[in-house]
Structures are given as C-alpha cells and as structure tokens.
Structure 1
Amino acid sequence: MELFLTLLSGIGWIIVYEECIRLGLKEKTYAMPFWALALNITWEITYTYSDIFLGAHGEMGGMLLAQTIVNIFWVIFDCVILYTYFKYGRKEWAKQVNSCFFVPYSLLVLVCSMALQFVFIQEFGFVMAAQYSAFLQNLLMSVLFIGLFLKRNSMEGTSLILAFAKWIGTLAPTILMGIITFNPVVLICGLFCCVFDLIYITLLIHYRKEKKEN
C-alpha cells in the first residue's frame, strides 16, 4: 500500500508538471504560481541530493528508492517549468514596477525558498522536515493556484487534467503519511489541500460551463 500510494503521488505530480510544461509552451505563459514553483524545485533539489549523496533516509528502503526516482523526474520537469516562467513571466510583471527587477526578484524568491528548506532540516531533521515543508508548501500552492486563476480570469495556463492530477497527487501522500503513519500536521495540511483543490476544480468546471453557455 505504501509503495502504491508513493507511486500514485509521483504519477499525479508528473501529470501536473507535464501539463504545466505543455500549457506554458503552447500558450506562452507559466502555469505554476512562481512562489509554489520556487518552493517545489528547491524542495526537490534538496531532498534528491540528500537521498542520493547523503543517505539521509537510508532506513526507508524500497520506498525511498521509489521516491528518489520520482524526485529526479520532478526536478527535471520543474526546471522546464522554471524556463517557461523566466521566458513568459515578465508580461505579467506589475506595470507600476520596472521590469528590470523581474529577474532579481525571481532569484531572491529562489534563494529564500532554498534557505527555508535548510532551516526546516536544521530544526526538524531530514525525515520530518521533508514532510512538514512539503505539505505546508503544497497547501500554499493550492491557494496560489486559485489566486492565479482568479487574477487571470481565464483558463490560461490551467486545465482540469492539471487540477485533478494535483488533487490526486496530494491526496495519496496525505493518506500515506497523514493517516497510515498518522502525522497530525500532515493530515491537517493534506485535508485543507484537498478542500482547496476541490474548490479549484469546481471553479474551473463552473468557468468552462459559463463559457459554453455564452
């Protein structure tokens, strides 16, 4: 069951990333909110490196190997999503702020995100830091996806496939780490992720229905 849920989460998020890349390149935009992307990619780089070179989760055996392989794919996909952000994100930069600050600000967000990964590890150790930071930033991501959709008021950079895959990709590890191994922090964050993901799905369905009617 643990291996199945780990792989289900990995496949769900790979679909999310594939959709972000496809939509980003097709529609010349970025499909993942940037703070969510920055936290995601720094998390994946941090824990892929720690699993491969530091053996920080060595006691987890086969499940670790599956998660590490998934993490490697996630890093590769997120690098492409990051490319779409830097290529197309400037057009959504606030008009009242000079666009020359776009790159420095973006780099600052990435540095901040990496620093947060390090302090979580320092405070909680590799195993718990990986869980706490992943679910907290996943909760933030669920809210940010809604915010980006409302800001654009269109289906630009999103799809129902992406929304459903994100929901399933988060629900699986919530069951695994929040219920089966019972971590209350993970459980609460995961439950609210589920709520906001379902709100996001509902908003997309309602928007598409309205467009068809009009």
Structure 2
Amino acid sequence: MELFLTLVSGVAWTIVYAEAIRLGLRQRTYAMPVAALALNFAWETTYAVNEFLGGVSAQGVVNVVWAVADVVIVYTFFRFGRAELPEFVTRPLFAAWGVLVFGSAFAVQWLFLAHFGAHDASRYSAFLQNLLMSGLFIALFAGRGGAHGQSLVIAVAKWLGTLAPTVLFGVIEDAPFILGLGVLCGVFDLAYIALLVRDRSHGPDALRSRPAPSR
C-alpha cells in the first residue's frame, strides 16, 4: 500500500508539472504560484539528494523527476513572469527578486531539515507548503481574473497527488498533524476545482478576461 500511494502521488504530481510546463510555454506565462514553485523546487532537490544518500528509493526517483520538471517551470517564471508585474519592476529588479525568493525557499527547507531531521522535516514542510500552494492557486485565479495559465488537469491532479500522501502519512502512519493539513489542502483544492469548473461553464476561452502579455 505504501508503494502504491507513493506512486499515485508521484504520477499525479508529475501530471501537474507536465501540464504546468505545457500551459506556461503555450500561453507565455508561469502556471504555478511563484512562492509555492520556489518551495517545491527547493524541497525536491533537497530531498532527492537526501534520499539517494541512503540508496535508491521510489520516492528518491520521484523527487528527481519532479525537480527536473520544476527546472522548466522555473524557466517559464523567469522568462514570462516580468510581464505580469507593474512597469516600475525592471528586468534586473525582477531577476533579483526571483533569486531572493528561490534562495529563501532553500533556506526554509534547510532550516526545517536542521530542526526536525529528514523524516519529519520532509513531511511537515511538504504539507505546509502544499497548503500554501492550495491557497495561492485560488489567489492566482483571482489576480489574473480567470484561468490564464491554469487548468482543471492541474487542479484535479494536485488534489489527487495530495490525497494519496495524506492517506499514507496521516491515516496509515497515524499522524494527526499531517492528516489535518491534508484535509485543509483538500478543502482548498476542491474550492479551486469548483472555480475552474465555473469559469469553464461561462465559455471555452480561458483567456477571455485577460489580454496576452505585451512585453
């Protein structure tokens, strides 16, 4: 059961990343909120290295796949993200801000690791940043005035990719803290899915309420 749930999570999140890459390149945007993207990238690279220090594992392989996919999403952020900010944010300022965000994300992951140890830190940080991501996806929808750079594929796959480890760590391993965070993620994820379904029901063009970036 543990391997099955790990693989379900791995496949579902890989779908999230693949769809985020597709949308980002096609629509010339980034398809994941930047704070969540930075934390995810830092988590995956940190724990990919940590897993392989103890030998090859299913989770370690999954982490490497995720980290490689995140590299492309990070590229879409630095390539297209400047267009969504006010004019006073110059490209050098945008690049410096991006480096600060990603650098801070690595610092947060390493602080978790130093304080809690690899076993607990990987779980606590993953679910906390997952909850942050769930809220930020809704904020992204609101900020863009629609589903630009977002899709039901991402929303549903994220929900399933979070549900599997919630069952594994929260229920099977009996961790109430993880279970509580997983349930909260589920609430936000289902709300986000509902927003996207409602948006689609009002017309097929997800870009209708937002003009394409011009710079």
TM-score normalized by structure 1? Answer: 0.92
| TM-superposed deviation, 1:77 | 0.2
| TM-superposed deviation, 1:65 | 0.9
Query: Which of 165, 168, 174 does residue 173 from structure 1 map onto?
Result: 165
Deviates more, 1:92-101 or 1:203-212: 92-101
Following the alignment from structure 2 to structure 1, what is the Cα–Cα distance between the partners of residues 8 and 155? Answer: 15
| TM-superposed deviation, 1:153 | 1.3
Q: Corresponding residue for 1:198?
A: 190
| TM-superposed deviation, 1:51 | 1.3
Counterparts of 1:113-192 in structure 2 under 5 Å? Answer: 113-192=105-184
2:97 is matched by which residue type in structure 1? Y
Following the alignment from structure 2 to structure 1, what is the Cα–Cα distance between the partners of residues 160 and 168? Answer: 12
| TM-superposed deviation, 1:99 | 4.0
Query: Which of 94, 97, 101 does residue 102 from structure 1 map onto?
Result: 94
User: How many percent identity over aligned positions?
Assistant: 51
2:26 is matched by which residue type in structure 1? K
Runs of 4+ off more than 6 Å: none
Q: In structure 1, the residue corresponding to 2:146 is in which secondary structure?
A: coil
Q: Deviations over 1:128-163 (max 9, x none)?
A: 000000000000000001100111112211111111
| TM-superposed deviation, 1:96 | 4.3
Following the alignment from structure 2 to structure 1, what is the Cα–Cα distance between the partners of residues 145 and 8? Answer: 31
Alignment partner of 1:85 is 2:77? yes
1:182 is matched by which residue type in structure 2? D
For structure 1, list consecutive stretches of 5 or more residues without a partner in the other structure: 59-63
Contact 1:93-1:99 within 8 A present in 2 as well: no
Cα RMSD (Å) of the superposition? Answer: 1.4
| TM-superposed deviation, 1:182 | 1.2
Q: Deviations over 1:80-114 (max 9, x none)?
A: 00011111001012334444310001100111110
Q: Corresponding residue for 2:44?
A: 44
| TM-superposed deviation, 1:73 | 0.4
Contact 2:37-2:70 within 8 A present in 1 as well: yes
Following the alignment from structure 1 to structure 2, what is the Cα–Cα distance between the partners of residues 179 and 160? Answer: 27
How many residue pairs are counted as aligned between the two chains? 205
Following the alignment from structure 1 to structure 2, what is the Cα–Cα distance between the partners of residues 190 and 6? Answer: 15
Q: In structure 2, the residue corresponding to 1:157 is in which secondary structure?
A: coil
Following the alignment from structure 2 to structure 1, what is the Cα–Cα distance between the partners of residues 20 and 71? Answer: 11
For structure 2, list consecutive stretches of 5 or more residues without a partner in the other structure: 209-215
Q: Deviations over 1:34-84 (max 9, x none)?
A: 00000000000000011113x2xx7xxxxx711111111000100000011
